[in-house]
Amino acid sequence: MTDPAPSHPKAKNDRTRARLVYVLYVLGIGVQPAALLGVILAAATSDRTDPVARAHNNYQVRLFLWGLLWITLGILAQNGGMMELAIALQVGWYIWVLFRISAVLPRLDRGLPPAGTPDAAEPLPDPSTDRAPLFSGYVLLLSGPFLGFLPVFIAGVLALLRRGRTRGVLRGHFSYQISIAMHALDMIAVMALAYIFWPPDFPKEAMELPMTLMDTSAYLNHEGSRRFIMASAVAFFVFSLLILYRSLRGLNRLSNGESVRVRPFAP
């Protein structure tokens, strides 16, 4: 079933839709309706696609159902007063889905069904031409704005370590991922400047958890606090959109085997 470059336009479009579903699942970590849209798209196209895309569509539906089970268990744990277990289930689900998508996207790119399905065997990839690490990097970058930007830093460090062992299109994508990760540093720099120019006031009572509405109001009544929060929120929103846009653009060009243009000051 290996067919990395389908010649039929319909098969190519089917695999592009399968990639879109995986991207929607990653975005669904922060925007839950995106995951629902993804499973609807996967279920609606699973009966009229080429064999590789059909296998991925079926896998995507199963992935969504497993996620629904995890979320249901988390809600039950939360309603039962087991908040720690609920948080552990939610975080565990995020990590698991990111791991699975990072592993399966390169197989779709090589024209292979998900691992564990019929005809899933494949030869070992050539490290100098293997695009799997790049797909994993873009998945981490896409999840970063929803998970505290830690995945963005991880993707940047991994790209920096792998960049020297590649060349051509792959090297360009690793450099591109490094430049995307630098946006997280840009955001931190903007927040640091906002903290210097508008130092917030942190009343002792406002730092005690859980914060009451009165405590929050006392904090927000301070002018420096309001300006700092506004500047930080704008920086977070702008750089999150920039990271998501550039990551989606890079993922699309990587799927088509195309190079990307990197900012001149990228390492």
Half-sphere exposure of 211 (CA within 13 A, CB side): 14
Q: Which two tokens stand for residue 264?
A: 């001149």
What pLDDT is recorded for position 239?
Answer: 92
Tens-place pLDDT, residues 242-264: 999 999 999 888 888 788 876 54
Count of beta carbons in the 10 Å neighbourhood of residue 151? 23
What pLDDT is recorded for position 237?
Answer: 92
Burial class (CB in 10 A: 0-12, 13-18, 19+), 172: buried
pLDDT band for position 265 (cuts 50, 70, 90): very low
Nearest-Å Rg of the Cα atoms of the chain is: 21
Half-sphere exposure of 49 (CA within 13 A, CB side): 23
Task: Look at the alpha carbons of 97, 99, 103, 106 in this order and tell me if their dihedral is positive or negative.
Answer: positive
Tens-place pLDDT, residues 159-213: 888 887 777 788 888 889 999 999 988 898 988 888 888 777 655 544 454 444 4
- Structural domain spans, the chain: 1-123, 127-267
Which letter does DSSP use for residue 46 in this model? T
